[in-house]
Amino acid sequence: MDSNGDTSIFGNVKPPPGVENLSGGTLEGLPLFINMIIRLLIVGAGIYAVINLVLAGYAFMSAGDDPKKMAAASSKIWQTLLGLAVAAGSFVLAAIFGKILFNDPNALLQFKIFGLGGQ
């Protein structure tokens, strides 16, 4: 216990300004951090997929008459589009299962820790 009567090890830490705007004000602490990491990974995967599609398209156009290069570029395009479909489909399925099981489409899409701070 410190001189202010606070029993917390780290004291009273306030979130930086603007954090409430990122999550709608319902999450804080570790759940907010994990949600922001997940969002960052999703955006990173989308950027990677776009770059991969552009590079594969360039490889396809520059393949000329070489069937092996054309097949490799075509395969890369197909795999990128399939990966995007799987990623998007996983979010759709998570929303459907969340709606069915918890009557909330975001139940499986938003990380929550129950029992902390009245959540």
Number of structural domains in the chain: 1
Containing domain of residue 60, as a range?
27-102
Q: What is the pLDDT of residues 59-112, one digit of tens each?
A: 999 998 899 999 999 999 999 999 888 888 888 888 899 889 888 888 777 766
Which amino acid, residue 117?
Answer: G
**What was the pLDDT predicted at 78?**
95
111 is a domain residue? no
Report the C-alpha gap between 108 and 93 in whole angstroms: 10
Report the C-alpha gap between 20 and 47 in whole angstroms: 26
Q: What is the pLDDT of residues 25-41, one digit of tens each?
A: 566 677 778 878 887 88
17 is a domain residue? no
70 is a domain residue? yes
